[in-house]
Amino acid sequence: MSVQSRVSRNIQRIRREKDLSQEEVAHRADIHQTYLSGVETGKRNPSILVVERIAKALGVDVSAIFKPN
Amino acid sequence: MSVQSRVSRNIQRIRREKDLSQEEVAHRADIHQTYLSGVETGKRNPSILVVERIAKALGVDVSAIFKPN
DNA sequence: TTGTGACTGCCAGTCCGTT
DNA sequence: AAACGGACTGGCAGTCACA
């Protein structure tokens, strides 16, 4: 299990739990929807600063994004 | 508390607990000692793939690197 | 053994459209 | 609403010589 798939699954899971769209989260995190899509599909290798922004946009602590599944 | 300082503190703490040098860890993670130094001093913004490699080099799960202090 | 300043190539992140 | 493709570029990831 790579970090990428772990991160992507967690982000997508949390986002759906909170019933938010990619567009909404991307907007809050000040990144593009297409990029968030790339992250959620495990195709991008985001920096920890971007991950932090996504976590904030989701209203969770960064550590939640790295929890093993 | 930014991710950067959180990550840097955790890495440094774990590395010292295991009594490893930056050079040793950097070598295992296949990155430069100078770069690891930059990460540990919170000056660099590593990608999640690099953080994963550092975690492996330290013998811990990635989530350990993101634990709040 | 760790940190710094200066450098450069490349990729993280953007932006367009299309499905 | 989400994924994908493709083209673009600036900033910084990663390197190096040194202290």
Query: Residue A15 has what pLDDT?
Result: 97
As averages over each run of 10 residues, the pLDDT of chain B (69 residues) reads: 93 97 96 96 95 97 94
- Whether A49 sits inside 8 A of B3 (CB atoms) is yes
Q: Which residues of B touch A2 (CB under 8 A)?
A: 52
- Enumerate residue ranges in chain A where pLDDT < 50: none
Query: Residue B2 has what pLDDT?
Result: 87
Domain hosting residue B41, numbered range? 3-66
- Whether B65 sits inside 8 A of A66 (CB atoms) is yes
β-bridge partners, A47: B47
- Whether A47 sits inside 8 A of B45 (CB atoms) is yes
A44 touches strand C (CB under 7 A): yes
Query: Residue A37 has what pLDDT?
Result: 96
Q: How far apart are CA A50 and CA A37, in angstroms?
A: 13
Domain total for chain A?
1
Query: Residue A69 has what pLDDT?
Result: 81
Each as own residue / partner, the long-range contacts of residues A26-33 (CB below 8 Å, 24 or more positions apart, any chain) are: A26/A57, A28/A56, A28/A57, A29/A53, A29/A54, A29/A56, A29/A57
Here the CATH number for the domain that contains residue B42 is 1.10.260.40
